Amino acid sequence: MVAFLENAVIAVTPTHLSTPRATVNQRLAMPPRQRGITLIELIIAVGTLAVLLTFAIPGYRNHTARARISAMLAEISEGKAGAERLATHVSPWDYVSDPAAVGLNGPASLCTTIVVDIIASARTAHLYCGGARFDFVALDYNTAEAGWRCTTRSHAAVSRTDWAPEGCVPHIARRSP
């Protein structure tokens, strides 16, 4: 009867339990398949992106500010010859404020506000090009200094002054604390 029970137990035992114990432990110890990214990989990727953006954004802002201010300077510079002529020669007007008198056709693409102030008796000229968000380029002429002086400001530029075009003095707005 013992032999009969032994045979019955062997016959009833499922095959997956009859495998050696080491094989079962090896199957349980295998790591599960990866499905996606882990939290640490995501944190590293976001951190790397943040570091890259801290250097890229100020450079981009300075680049776009320089391009915009240079274009504004080119637009307002078209009136320099006419303004200088009116400021240095005797004219029938003592004061000129019309942009058309110096060759400017009014507001242009970047210069939404154009101001012309020429005082013939003082031999001075002031050309102003104002743009969006308080950007401006101002050109001042004085016969005593015998040349043009450029002042500019850009809202997008950071506190450095390398965004200003050659020969222009950047005006950096002070921010309240």
Tokens of 96: 């000129």
Under DSSP, the state recorded for 15 is: G
Distance of alpha carbon 73 from alpha carbon 82, whole angstroms? 16
| Contact by Cβ (8 Å): 168, 157 | no
Q: How confident is the model at residue 176 (pLDDT cuts 50, 70, 90)?
A: very low
pTM above 0.85, yes or no: no
User: Where are the domains positioned within the chain?
Assistant: 41-170
Query: What is the pLDDT, as a whole number, of residue 52?
Result: 94
| Distance from C-alpha of 45 to C-alpha of 54, rounded to nearest angstrom | 14
- Looking at the chain, which runs of residues are DSSP E strands? 95-96, 113-119, 124-130, 136-142, 147-153, 168-170
Q: Give pLDDT tens digits for 103-114.
A: 888 777 788 888
How far apart, in whole angstroms, are the C-alpha atoms of residue 126 and residue 32?
Answer: 75
Which residues lie below 8 Å from residue 81, measured CB to CB, with a gap of 6+?
A: 102, 103
Confidence band (pLDDT; 50, 70, 90) for 46?
very high
What is the CATH code for 41-170? 3.30.700.10
Query: How does DSSP assign 141-177, residue by residue?
Result: EETTTTEEEEEEE-SSS-SSSTTSPTTEEE-PPPPP-
Per residue in 135-167, pLDDT (tens digit) is: 889 999 988 877 899 988 887 776 667 778 888
Q: Which residues pair with 115 in a beta bridge?
A: 128
Q: How far, in Å, CA of 11 to CA of 18, rounded?
A: 11
